[in-house]
Amino acid sequence: MEEKEFEIPVPWGQIAAKSWGNDKNQLVLMIHGTSDNAGSFDRLISHLPDTFYYIAFDLPGHGKSSHFPSNIPLHEINYMLAVNMVVNYVNREKIILIGHSWGGQMAMLYSQFYPERVLRLVVIEAVYFSPVSVDYFKQCTTEYIDSVIKLLEKSKTSKPPVYSFEKAKHAIINGRMYGKLKPEAAEPLLKRCLNSIGDNQYQITNDLRLKTKHCLFVDMDFCVSVIKEHPVTCPLLIIVGKDSTPLLEYYKEFLKELKHANPKCTTMEVNGNHDVHNNNPELVGPPIHSFLTTSNL
């Protein structure tokens, strides 16, 4: 499918996006994870049906997109605001969402907030925003506040580190929370997140504040209550890697309530780690292909 680049204007600058396919077809909006960018879906696209129109975009502070204003801390609500601006910009009555990791968490939440807009939802290596226990709430929040203050102060005087291309690639491959990226999976990310400042000298464009995002929810019981009160009603496919964290076990009670409210929810495991959609798109593509094209869901 032909690939096109474009920009979406937002009050703080622009959101960089790319599309594949015929824009007359049903739109599939793709949301990447923390510190990734729209390139994380490049290798998956060829395994998906060409009867849809796909848009992936760099979240603020990622890839080629503008950073949020420099004097504010980052909160997940900031990013939900950005996602909604993108949806409003594409101006489609109904969309399909595919999200990976943190992007999957946002896609899930968006489907709760705006169920009338979402036809189908695919979540890869995610279930819901990570809850914080009540016991840990005070420590978590004060540590967040202190770390943001330090980071904002540091940003006034320090400059982003400079890498050779080889060291930048090594950082992208190995700087993952869960497992590594294959070299060929790192390539499309590097194309969007490196800023050349000299002969074989690069800076990674990701916002340093991404290291201090604040968690939206407190306590797993709260998450279960929220999904019970505001269920995801569209057909939903959750895909997790067998070599990643045991998400399906961790969210056992949440998934029980989710599936009770939505019989069109399916969970499945595939071989691979947290970045299975990028490392092994041939394993993730077929079930998504089937999910998108099955009419009787």
pLDDT tens per residue, range 251-273:
999 999 999 999 999 999 999 99
CB 170 within 8 A of CB 183: no
115 and 143 together in one domain: no
Q: Which domain holds residue 146?
A: 135-211
Total of domains in the chain: 2
196 and 50 together in one domain: no
Residue entry with tokens 């939505």 = 262
144 and 117 together in one domain: no
Instruction: Walk across the sheet containing 265-270 and list its strands.
Output: 3-10, 13-20, 52-57, 26-31, 95-100, 118-124, 236-241, 265-270
pLDDT of residue 226: 93
Task: Say if residue 111's pLDDT is above 80.
Answer: yes
120 and 15 together in one domain: yes
Q: Which of 69-78, 81-90, 201-210 has the lowest mean pLDDT?
A: 69-78
118 and 239 together in one domain: yes
Q: Which of 15-24, 35-44, 199-208 has the lowest mean pLDDT?
A: 199-208
pLDDT of residue 184: 96
Model confidence at 118, pLDDT cuts 50, 70, 90, reads very high
Question: Rounded distance, CA 20 to CA 43, Å?
Answer: 12
User: Which of 45-54, 123-132, 176-185, 198-207 is modeled with the greatest confidence?
Assistant: 45-54
pLDDT, tens only, 138-195: 888 898 889 888 888 877 777 788 999 999 999 999 988 788 899 999 999 999 999 9
71 and 114 together in one domain: yes
Question: Rounded distance, CA 20 to CA 88, Å?
Answer: 19
Residue type, 117: R
278 and 263 together in one domain: yes
13 and 141 together in one domain: no
Alpha helices in the chain (DSSP H): 42-45, 76-90, 102-113, 134-157, 165-174, 183-193, 220-229, 247-250, 252-261, 276-279, 281-293
| Partners of 55 in the β-ladder | 19, 29
Task: Say if residue 200's pLDDT is above 80.
Answer: yes
171 and 49 together in one domain: no
* Residue where one domain finishes, among candidates 164, 180, 211: 211
* Residue where one domain finishes, among candidates 211, 235, 263: 211
The residue-averaged pLDDT of 107-116 equals 96
Model confidence at 297, pLDDT cuts 50, 70, 90, reads low
* Residue where one domain finishes, among candidates 177, 211, 245: 211
The residue-averaged pLDDT of 224-238 equals 95
Question: Rounded distance, CA 182 to CA 71, Å?
Answer: 35
| Active-site annotation holds for 101 | yes
Instruction: Determine which one of 19, 35, 40, 101 is catalytic.
Output: 101
CA atoms in the 13 A half-sphere facing the CB of 160: 17
CB 211 within 8 A of CB 151: yes
155 and 14 together in one domain: no
For residues 209-225, one letter each, b for 16 or more C-beta atoms within 10 angstroms of the residue's C-beta and e for the rest, the string is: bbebbbbbbbebeebbe
Give percent of the chain with pLDDT exceeding 70.
Answer: 99
11 and 84 together in one domain: yes
35 and 77 together in one domain: yes
Question: Rounded distance, CA 267 to CA 234, Å?
Answer: 14
Q: Cβ-count burial of 254 within 10 angstroms (0-12 exposed, 13-18 middle, 19+ buried)?
A: buried
The residue-averaged pLDDT of 70-86 equals 89
CATH number for the domain harbouring residue 225: 3.40.50.1820
